[in-house]
Chains A and B, each alone.
Chain A
Amino acid sequence: MTALFSRRALLSGGAALATATLLPLPALAVTEAQARGMVDALVAEVNAVIASGKSEQAMYNDFATIFDRYADVPTIAMYSLGNAGRAATPAQRQQFVGVFRTYIARKYGSRFREFVGGQIAVENARTINNYVEVQTTAYLRGEDPFRVDFHVSDQSGRNAFFNIIIEGVNMLLSERTEMAALLDRHGGNVDALIASLR
């Protein structure tokens, strides 16, 4: 990872900074360099867990913790809940975010195990509206390299990712589809949805 995040990356990061000082841009809170640095730190933590040689179950727990720490879970949760979230009471929202936190960290954290024996190279970062898209390439054993993008924002008060896009497939949309289907199954009852995620 660190080997790949090398001179070329630093140079292009420098170029981005130079451009930022020259062009009049809207007030941006998270910079491309910060977003890139955040994804680098995330990847380094995942790699450290993989290198630790722990049991697979211990790794899952660590991955879930890492996911939770770097993701803006309340925003992902409320987006996934969609329209039903607008009608929910503050108490219901709080409970939903709570159960969703465990659900999402387990679900996506467990996927980090696929990086065992592989690596993620941070390729590029670009600003889209008021967030930064960090483009990475995942090199996994026995598979063709594929693209993974992290969308990073600081609108939660800290730098955190709110979406992961793997070869075009978008976590926010997948989870909104999943929550809508679960809600349907429970007749649109948010409390029943919360209970089912526990």
Chain B
Amino acid sequence: MNNEQLRDEIIRISGTNPSKCMKCGKCSGTCPAYEEMEYHPHQFVSMVQKGDIEPLLESKSIFKCLTCFACVERCPRSVEPGKLVEAVRLMLIRQKGANHFDAEDLPCLVDDDLPQQAVVSAFRKYSK
């Protein structure tokens, strides 16, 4: 797929419209995993808009995102960057053609220090 096709595919999967972004940076202002992410949420939106998807597919950022959806909740323009991150992740996972784990795999991975939200979002990321 060329850049434009990649971009259109991400927009289709995510159901959001990155052109609505007014570049306020609130998503990056709110992101709890900001420091962990190589590409920050606002950059993510801008890169998707430009069709610059390849680096995102190769970046660890897509797995560092907590899927907490704070950016989705607070984005004033309803661009919902979290959904774009999830769409890139889904594209990669679909390319690999495999689910990463099932519900049965979960109990042995859970430890007491792990916040509940992390389990939920991990399941979100890897079960599709």
Task: Say whether A associates with B.
Answer: no
**Which A residues contact B (CB, under 8 angstroms)?**
none
**Which B residues contact A (CB, under 8 angstroms)?**
none
